[in-house]
Chains A and B, each alone.
Chain A
Amino acid sequence: MLIELVCFLLVMVAGTAGELCIARAMKTVGEVTDFRPRQLMAVAWRTVKVPWMWTGLGLMALAFFALLAVLAVENVSFVVPVTALSYAVGALGGKVFLHEQVTRTRWTGVLLVCVGVTLVLIGKRWG
């Protein structure tokens, strides 16, 4: 039970934290305005030199392996709360870690997405 709880937290927190780190890396690189292949390669080169990118990729890999581990012992119903909650955790992370202004309107949208994702996953399981 404890291992499953740890994996649950790892999937949700490490997955979202990984994306937040990638967001911070991309903000460090700066806004991409030129989408020609050569320019995109230059952006990719600048991106791999930002440590936040590697931290993000590492955390996402950790979340992926935690998901595999938990799916080996638990059934897929585990995916429902993790996926739905990750949107709320993501908005909170954006506010705290990236200092984004998550207004009441944005929170409302995020919570609607959480409810919608829960229904889609529950419907898929019961269907």
Chain B
Amino acid sequence: MKSFSHSHFKTYVVILLIVIFGPVGNFLLGKGMKGLGMTLSWKPSELVRFIAFALRSETIWMGIGSLIIFFVSYSLILSWADYSYVQPASAFAYGTAALLGHFMLGEIVNAVQWAGIMIICLGVFVVGRTPLRTTEPN
């Protein structure tokens, strides 16, 4: 019982990291890219110049850092939980993205989006009622 609770506790903490740092990373990266005022070109010389310019942006570095935390958290949780459990549970990130857009960018979240977020929450709640892991540990 103790290990059951511990597994669930660390799962919820890591899912929380995933649903926060994924959208925050995308948001910061998007904001940083827009702040550059340059358009992305696929010509090698211009691409190198673009990357060099982008890496001078603090916002882009914070975005990269957030996405690294997201990727590490996502990989870690897959070491003990089912993929078919983690993938839908991480869809909570759509709610975080909508809240970020609403409070940080003043975007209007319409009724269809709110309905979608509610249905995602319901779906995650249903998935959360299934076992964390259904395979034998290696």
Interface residues in chain A, defined as those with a beta carbon under 8 Å from any beta carbon in chain B: 19-20, 22-23, 26-32, 40, 43, 47, 87, 90-91, 93-95, 98-103, 105-106, 108-124, 126-127
Contacts and interface: CB of A to CB of B under 8 A. Distances in A.
A91 B87 contact: yes
B123 A109 contact: yes
B126 A105 contact: yes
- The 10 closest A-B CB pairs, nearest first, are A119-B116, A112-B123, A123-B112, A94-B84, A109-B126, A116-B120, A109-B127, A116-B119, A123-B113, A120-B116
A26 to B, nearest CB: 4
Determine the main DSSP class of B at the interface with A. helix
B130 A105 contact: yes
Interface in B100-136: 107-131, 134-135
A98 B78 CA distance: 11
Interface string B70-97: 0010111011101111111001001000
A102 B83 CA distance: 10
B39 interface: no
B54 interface: no
B119 A115 contact: yes
B138 interface: yes
A14 B116 CA distance: 26
Contacts, number: 154
A30 B137 contact: yes
B129 A118 contact: no
B113 A124 contact: yes
Contact of A111 (B116, B123, B130, B135): B123
A113 B88 contact: yes
B110 A109 contact: no
Contacts of A87: 87-88, 91
A106 B119 contact: no
A98 to B, nearest CB: 6
Contact of A23 (B72, B78, B125, B129): B78
B16 interface: no
